[in-house]
Amino acid sequence: MPFVGDTRVVARESALLELIGDVFGLLDIDELRGGLLQALHRALPSDYVSLNDVGSTPEEIVTLMAPEAPHVEATWALHAHENPLLRHHLRTLDGRAYRFSDVISQEELHELPLYHEVYAPLGVEHQMAFTLPSGSDRVLAIALSRCDHDYTDAERDFANEARPFLIQAYLNALAHHSLRGARPQIPATLTLEALVAAGFTAREAEVLRLVALGRSNQHIASALGISDRTVGKHLEHSFRKLGVSDRSTAAGRVWELAAMAEAPGR
């Protein structure tokens, strides 16, 4: 247990909880990708944050970078295999956070064509990366880059502490994405009617519909003009009525109720 007076430990735990809270409710895969970049930038300030979501086919590869750097994207694709952190991961299959300085000297980094063609034009001298595995055919790689100073040991440890929670958030979003793809789209009005008929209040129905669409608590609060805390209370009551304990299962139950209401003869 940390000492109450250890403000550094308290701040670290607070930042970790904030990061987890920012991403754990994001079931929509596109919203998770964008939200994850923003949350990591807040927790670990960087000049660039990038995400590579790699599936089993070329069509299942998504790359996001904030801020965008279109002038080096094509060059990056040509030299990506030279990245020392990627090569370390492929060699060891270790998905934990590592820095350039953990696996290569600055002199060796500067000799790489990747550095001259991509990192030097961006001014990047330091990078830390880790992966969020989700099975044998898919991986999410996160890279954070800085121009002026390296990531500290404490920041690397923070990334590794957050990693298991980020992996679970990613798995939840993938499961939700698969479920949505396997089900027909249900009209929003019918979903609300079905939920109200099933015993939910009108507000609980509105919150549950947005959860089923993969929205985060923050998005729901903004859309409905209520607080995050109020959203949490509605979900607490709704989960109890549904007999579930997590958002993915709740979303599945909402689709089931809506499909039952849409079935012929009902």
Q: pLDDT of 111-159, one tens digit each?
A: 999 999 999 999 999 999 999 876 666 678 899 999 999 999 999 999 9
Average pLDDT, the chain: 83
Shared domain for 145 and 256, answered yes or no, is no
- For residue 1, name the pLDDT band (cuts at 50, 70, 90): very low
Sequence-distant (6+) residues with CB within 8 A of 66 are 37, 38, 41, 48, 49, 50
CATH number at residue 253: 3.40.50.2300
Torsion of CA 240, 224, 179, 199, to 10 degrees: 40
Shared domain for 227 and 166, answered yes or no, is no
Shared domain for 54 and 143, answered yes or no, is yes
CATH number at residue 80: 3.30.450.80
Q: Is residue 111 part of a domain?
A: yes
Q: Where are the alpha helices (DSSP H) in 55-140?
A: 70-79, 84-92, 100-103, 106-111, 113-114, 120-122
Q: Is residue 2 part of a domain?
A: no
Q: Comparing 88-97, 128-137, 161-170, which segment has the lowest mean pLDDT?
A: 128-137
Shared domain for 15 and 111, answered yes or no, is yes
Domain count, the chain: 2
Shared domain for 52 and 85, answered yes or no, is yes
Q: Is residue 61 part of a domain?
A: yes
For the residues 180-202, what does the mean pLDDT come to? 73
- For residue 263, name the pLDDT band (cuts at 50, 70, 90): low
3-state secondary structure 221-234: HHHHCCCHHHHHHH
Q: Is residue 1 part of a domain?
A: no
* Predicted confidence (pLDDT) per residue in 195-238, tens digit: 888 899 999 999 988 888 777 787 788 889 998 889 889 999 99
* Predicted confidence (pLDDT) per residue in 33-63, tens digit: 888 888 899 999 999 999 887 665 655 667 7
Residues 88/97, Cβ–Cβ less than 8 Å = no
Q: Is residue 147 part of a domain?
A: yes
Shared domain for 108 and 142, answered yes or no, is yes
Shared domain for 217 and 155, answered yes or no, is no
Query: Rounded to two decimals, what is the model's pTM?
Result: 0.69
Shared domain for 164 and 218, answered yes or no, is no
The amino acid that residue 206 corresponds to is E
For the residues 74-100, what does the mean pLDDT come to? 89
Cis peptide before 113 (omega within 30 of 0): no
Shared domain for 191 and 153, answered yes or no, is no
Shared domain for 165 and 188, answered yes or no, is no
Residues 114/78, Cβ–Cβ less than 8 Å = no
Shared domain for 229 and 154, answered yes or no, is no
Shared domain for 187 and 173, answered yes or no, is no
Q: Is residue 84 part of a domain?
A: yes
Enclosing domain of residue 118: 7-177
Sequence-distant (6+) residues with CB within 8 A of 39 are 18, 19, 22, 23
